[in-house]
A and B are shown apart, each in its own frame.
Chain A
């Protein structure tokens, strides 16, 4: 199916474990983004990528790692999960930079115990 998908949709993990959240888009959009959404903080940018092999940090990048070897995939890894990383994570893509609308995935709800 065309669009932007995220997996898993729900994940429970323990403190200290490594977790990878997957994001896949079928539009061949250049830009991809990872956000986290927490009550009281709105949507905050973790990392973004302008093209394959090009990534940049966002506002809250500490504790996260990304890669983009293929245009369509943009996985987000929590190297050693902490309770403060419990959140809902959204992946998004856009045709170009911030002057264009972003298309969001359905989100991954991550709980770190």
Chain B
């Protein structure tokens, strides 16, 4: 059972542009996490946002959470070729383990 669904499935942008990925989910959550996966590697945690938070920043990353719409967005500003990866959201509903979405594949073209 997939809780988070990322949108778009794939995104291609030029270096220097901003990239925005969205995650929608179905049930109430305690927190939502974003992960990055480079090709052939394991996932790496990027940021965690709790249900009582609306926005969080980490370097060039900005995450927003709208619990009324059951959605989150991940913004990467001034993208670089090294940002090319798949990005996953994962939701914590409290009584079950994290549930991951299917991911957004981001390609940043130099």
Given contacts A41-B102, A42-B2, A42-B88, contact A99 B30 (CB under 8 A): yes
Q: How large is the interface on A (under 10, 10 to 19, 20 to 34, 35 or more residues)?
A: 20 to 34
Q: Is the CB of B45 within 8 A of A98?
A: no
Taking a contact as CB atoms closer than 8 A, the residue among A40, A92, A101 that contacts B102 in the complex is A40
A-facing mask of B93-108, CB < 8 A → 1, else 0?
1101111111100000
Given contacts A40-B102, A42-B100, A48-B97, contact A101 B33 (CB under 8 A): yes
Q: Is the CB of B41 within 8 A of A42?
A: no
Q: Is the CB of B42 within 8 A of A101?
A: no
Given contacts A42-B88, A42-B103, A98-B92, contact A104 B98 (CB under 8 A): no
Interface residues of B (CB under 8 A from A): 1-2, 30-31, 33, 40-45, 48, 88, 92-94, 96-103
Interface residues of A (CB under 8 A from B): 33, 35, 40-45, 48, 58-59, 90, 92, 97-99, 101-107
